[in-house]
């Protein structure tokens, strides 16, 4: 893979390196270069925030002028020097884990790096991009893999009657900060996949993100027929067949691209089940390289695969009809010597049910060495969702952990915030381990915090006035932000439950409130569109008088402006449907506060001194009762807590209690809910252990593991309990258990006394030790153990489970038998 830059037009010698800056999306968070691009073309910069488009659009005359502008050239040299320092520095990962060889391939259907590269729809893509940016800051060797959509996600316009209109402008690659991916000979790298009766040809592109790269595949190839050229047309567009085609391109095509480029990936990270076909492609590569069968290849490679699920309900997973999978994956199955029925079984809860749809999340789970949700609560929810895949295991032991999401703080801080944090904590504060950040922020005086907050709010007012083309909002009024996808579970209209009560809040003479809104409804989500229309109708009422503003065509640029400027971020999801919900994290660095349902990240972050909690964490079934209760509590919080605290000023005009809450939120939460913390957690909990485990599964070790697994599968049904006795004495329980093993090797069986956890307590797992063989039995033993506990003997049940130092239990070896 060549890293040389791509410049279709010559630049004056004095401007050498300007194209490299334009193509490196590090400018999307390294705001030191903003002024440089503003000087090239202020109008285009303000309109597009796309340096590459600016460089491709300005005239030769303007370039010649800049080549003679000493001040501009000095600024260019400064930015090029900063880039070189970034590229050749010694980052955290190199210092801590420099002995880990290979890269982490991060697969995602979307990446929201910048509004200049519109290949994202929302939270999933923004999270993927923030992950890649933090990997760049920390030096973690992540390479992103995704698709270059010709039209991306839809753009939104509001019609004359308040209806959402969807538009699909073309993504012209020549105007995007992407370059054709070329091999060492200079040829454009291409990938071909076998589809039913034909091949699909894929162009490839590269996006530079500082030290890291994002690789993109694109089906708009002249050798494809018109239908196949449109496979990468729209993000989340079309029906099931198009979605399957896109996921095949991402998973199979993406891994094939890495293979063609010779990129050695020790870990494959699937950001949602969309990318699960990558585990099949990785196994096929191993199969061909080492001449093993598919089961051994999957056994060898899955130890290095990680599956991050963002889905809060089982119905949210992608499912495909068996006939469609057979049609599209028959050639792949044949290429690895696998019957199609065996391949289908990898994506079914019941492998024997020929009519069950193929579930991409189950494929990901069966092809990975670890699974994680994206918040503590989502980990609990995900264990419940995946319980059906481990039916004999307690929910607490379903092998799904969690890493709570974060946001890339340098992307989301305002210029005002950047100045404040730099003064308090230093320029390189977000690029290391963050230990000193909280203490630095705590040293900022109340006056400075309040001036910063007021300046941020004023900047938002300036943006809204420019966007709306009229005078809107007062820079001294409490400003609420509410921006997200318009859909049912997010309860976008909860604030409208009692419009007159809301109006009284907004129109208060002495303590007014104003609300800025943004968000899109999916083109096929009619209830979501109706929610949007309800807000627009309310905002247009004469008595609302401009106190509610809706900003159409919600994108990254608008999200940044809102999260930088609002005083309070409102979040009202239906618990526990918000897997994490990172939008509220984006206000933290900017001094904004949160009022939210105790769902997602807020369920673990909230403390009374940090913001406001809506609800008590219950999950009531009656929707109408729940919505009425939560709406009433939200109004009450605003009326009796939020608004009074914001307007309670001292003689200097400072709301001391509000500022104290700001300080606690900024100091304690900004670092904790950053992608810096999140990516370091992925590295230390997953990437490093998975990479090492995968390296150990050399072909012979993988063959032995697969053989051991098959022996367990064959002989486990023979295992059964004999007599079981439990003696209680002075708070101690003594267990004596007889176990008949059939043909199982006793070294691969573990026996425990198990009791469910009570309340917040973890389950009790007390191992029993193997003793003497049972007389006359071919392969049976007594297992014994003693436990000090205040719980009665009836709480405990003996169980036998597979145990192995190398097989992952229960993720890849879920053999378990209970006494009763």
- Write the pLDDT tens digit of every residue in 144-185: 999 999 998 999 999 999 999 999 999 999 999 999 999 988
Rounded to whole angstroms, the Cα distance separating 301 from 285 reads 10
Given CATH 3.40.50.2000, say whether it is the number of domain 430-665: yes
Instruction: State the pairing for strand pair 478-483/513-518.
Output: parallel
Q: What pLDDT shows up at residue 4?
A: 47
Q: Which residues contact 357 (CB under 8 A, 6 or more apart)?
A: 319, 320, 321, 322, 348
CA dihedral 244→247→251→253, nearest 10 degrees, is: 80
Among candidate residues 407, 413, 586, the one with its CA nearest the CA of residue 483: 586
pLDDT of residue 506: 96
CA–CA gap between residue 647 and residue 390 (Å, rounded): 54
Among the four given CATH numbers 3.40.50.1860, 3.40.50.300, 1.20.960.40, 3.40.50.2000, the one describing domain 101-405+686-696: 3.40.50.2000
Closest CA to 251 of 223, 285, 224, 225: 285
Query: Where are the CATH 3.40.50.2000 domain residues in the chain?
Result: 101-405+686-696, 430-665
Low-confidence stretches of the chain (pLDDT beneath 70) = 1-8, 619-621
Give the per-residue pLDDT at 618.
Answer: 72
| Domain 715-818 = CATH 2.60.40 | yes
pLDDT value, residue 8: 63
Where in the sequence of the chain do the CATH 2.60.40 domains occur?
A: 715-818
| pLDDT tens profile 788-798 | 998 999 999 99
Candidates 567, 641, 631, 554; CA nearest to 597 is: 631
CA distance 94 to 140: 8
pLDDT of residue 315: 86
Identify the pLDDT of residue 620.
61
CA distance 690 to 265: 11
> Could you say which DSSP state residue 25 is in?
G
CB 187 within 8 A of CB 213: no
> What is each CA distance from 701 to 242, 265, 707, in whole angstroms?
39, 19, 10
User: Which letter does DSSP use for residue 369 in this model?
Assistant: S
Which run of H or of E encompasses 80? Answer: helix 70-88
**SS3 sequence, 329-358?**
HHHHHHHCCCCHHHHHHCCCCCCCCCCCCE
pLDDT value at position 809?
95
pLDDT of residue 5: 46
Sign of the Cα torsion 603, 608, 612, 613 reads: positive
Environment class of 260 (CB within 10 Å of its CB; exposed 0-12, middle 13-18, buried 19+): middle
């Amino acid at each position: 893979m060549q890293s040389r830059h791509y410049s279709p037009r010559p630049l004056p010698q004095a401007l050498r390196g300007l194209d490299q800056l334009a193509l490196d999306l590090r400018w999307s968070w390294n705001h030191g270069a903003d002024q440089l691009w503003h000087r090239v073309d202020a109008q285009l910069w303000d309109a597009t925030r796309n340096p590459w488009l600016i460089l491709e659009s300005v005239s030769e005359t303007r370039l010649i002028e800049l080549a003679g502008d000493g001040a501009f050239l000095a600024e260019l040299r400064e930015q090029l020097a900063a880039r070189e320092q970034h590229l050749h520095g010694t980052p955290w990962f190199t210092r801590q884990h420099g002995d880990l060889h290979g890269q982490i391939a991060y697969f995602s259907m979307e990446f929201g790096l910048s509004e200049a590269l519109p290949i994202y729809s929302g939270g999933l893509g923004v999270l993927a991009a923030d992950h890649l940016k933090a990997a760049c800051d920390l030096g973690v060797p992540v390479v992103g893999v995704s698709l270059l959509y010709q039209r991306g996600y839809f753009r939104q316009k509001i019609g004359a009657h308040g209806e959402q209109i969807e538009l699909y402008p073309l993504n012209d690659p020549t105007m995007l900060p992407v370059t054709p991916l070329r091999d060492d000979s200079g040829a454009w790298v291409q990938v071909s996949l076998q589809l039913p009766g034909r091949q699909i040809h894929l162009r490839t592109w590269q996006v530079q993100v500082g030290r890291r790269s994002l690789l993109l595949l694109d089906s708009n190839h002249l050798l494809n027929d018109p239908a196949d050229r449109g496979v990468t047309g729209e993000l989340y567009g079309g029906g099931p067949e198009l979605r399957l085609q896109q996921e095949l391109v991402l998973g199979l095509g993406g891994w094939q691209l890495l293979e063609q480029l010779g990129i050695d990936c020790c870990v494959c990270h699937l950001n949602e089940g969309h990318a699960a076909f990558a585990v099949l492609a990785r196994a096929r590569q191993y199969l061909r390289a080492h001449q093993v069968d598919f089961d051994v290849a999957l056994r060898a490679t899955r130890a290095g695969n990680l599956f991050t699920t963002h889905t809060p309900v089982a119905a949210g997973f992608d499912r495909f009809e068996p006939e469609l999978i057979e049609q599209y994956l028959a050639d792949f199955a044949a290429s690895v010597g696998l019957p199609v029925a065996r391949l289908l079984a990898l994506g079914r809860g019941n492998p024997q049910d020929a009519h069950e749809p193929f579930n991409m999340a189950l494929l990901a789970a069966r092809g990975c060495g670890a699974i994680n949700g994206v918040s503590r609560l989502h980990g609990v929810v995900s264990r419940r969702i995946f319980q059906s895949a481990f039916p004999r295991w307690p929910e607490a032991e379903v092998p799904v952990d969690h890493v709570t999401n974060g946001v890339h703080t340098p992307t989301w801080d305002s210029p005002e915030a950047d100045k404040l944090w730099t003064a308090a904590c230093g320029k390189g504060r977000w690029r290391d381990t963050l230990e000193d950040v909280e203490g630095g922020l705590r040293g900022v005086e109340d006056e400075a915090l309040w001036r910063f907050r007021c300046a941020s709010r004023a900047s938002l007012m300036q943006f809204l006035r420019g966007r709306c083309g009229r005078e809107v909002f007062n820079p001294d009024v409490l400003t609420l932000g509410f921006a997200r996808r318009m859909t049912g579970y997010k309860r976008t209209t909860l604030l409208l439950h009692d419009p007159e009560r809301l109006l009284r809040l907004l129109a208060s003479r002495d303590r007014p409130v104003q609300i800025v809104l943004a968000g899109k409804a999916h083109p096929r989500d009619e209830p979501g569109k109706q929610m949007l229309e309800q807000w627009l109708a309310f905002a247009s009422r004469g008595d609302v008088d401009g106190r509610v503003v809706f900003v159409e065509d919600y994108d990254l640029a608008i999200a940044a402006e809102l999260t930088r400027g609002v005083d309070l971020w409102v979040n009202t999801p239906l618990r526990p449907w918000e897997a994490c919900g990172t939008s509220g994290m984006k206000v933290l660095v900017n001094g904004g506060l949160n009022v939210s349902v105790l769902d997602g990240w807020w369920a673990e972050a909230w403390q009374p001194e940090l913001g406001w909690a809506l609800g008590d964490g219950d999950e009531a079934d009656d929707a109408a009762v729940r919505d009425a209760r939560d709406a009433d509590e939200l109004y009450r919080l605003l009326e009796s807590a939020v608004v009074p605290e914001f307007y309670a000023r001292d003689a200097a005009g400072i709301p001391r209690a509000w500022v104290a809450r700001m300080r606690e939120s900024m100091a304690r939460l900004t670092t904790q809910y950053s992608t810096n913390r999140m990516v370091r957690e992925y590295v230390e909990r997953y990437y490093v252990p998975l990479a090492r485990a995968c390296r150990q599964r050399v072909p012979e070790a993988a063959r032995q593991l697969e053989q051991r697994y098959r022996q367990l599968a064959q002989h486990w049904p023979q295992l059964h309990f004999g007599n079981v006795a439990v003696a209680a004495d002075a708070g101690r329980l003594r267990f004596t258990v007889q176990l008949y093993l059939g043909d199982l090797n006793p070294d691969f069986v573990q026996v425990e006394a198990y009791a469910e956890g009570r309340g917040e307590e973890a389950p009790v797992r007390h191992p029993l030790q193997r003793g003497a063989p049972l007389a006359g039995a071919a392969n049976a033993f007594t297992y014994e153990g003693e436990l000090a506990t205040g719980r009665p003997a009836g709480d405990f049940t003996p169980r036998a489970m597979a145990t192995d130092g190398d097989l992952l239990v229960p993720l890849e070896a879920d053999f378990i038998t209970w006494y009763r």
